[in-house]
Amino acid sequence: MSVEFAESWTAAERTVFDRICTHTSTKEGGNAALGALNPGLCDIWAMTTGGGAADSTWGKGCFGTLVMDGAITGRWLERPKAQRFAMQVVELLNKTENFYHIGNVQWFRMSAGGLPNTIMGAFVPYGGEKNLAVTCWDLTIPVELIFNTYTEYGT
């Protein structure tokens, strides 16, 4: 398989996002977003990647890979729904075959100390009054995306 260097981040992120959507029965543009949470919506999750310690692997006989930080975030009206989603993601991440050498993704996993966490928050729904905040549950799962940037890679 092949991927252009400039497209390698997008390809890896898309591969992971699509697999999470399938496993959690969510849909991009509905209750899932690639990039950032919509601040006026609830019962939705998003995934973003970027940044990190600039770890990379280059050298003789070794593909060029990058290691990026990321997060899966979400907001739900009910804590049990946030917990259910979190555990669906953990279930998916715990099975090595789900994110090991899929496309140009070398590995996708929770970061050290990356177990899911929910905290009570508030948001102002779209169309709502400015001073009317709704209680919600915010979820964060810190993750790490390791992906191949080399033009040709194995499957």
Domain made up of 5-148: CATH architecture: 2-Layer Sandwich (3.30)
What single-letter DSSP state applies at residue 77? S
- Residues 8 and 5: their CA atoms lie apart, in Å, by 5
Query: Is the CB of residue 110 less than 8 Å from the CB of residue 93?
Result: yes
- Tens digits of per-residue pLDDT, 12-33? 999 999 999 999 999 999 999 9
Contacts of 35 (CB under 8 A, 6+ apart): 46, 48
Residue-averaged pLDDT of the chain: 84
pTM score above 0.75: yes
Q: How far apart are CA 106 and CA 56, in angstroms?
A: 12
- Sequence ranges of the domains in the chain: 5-148
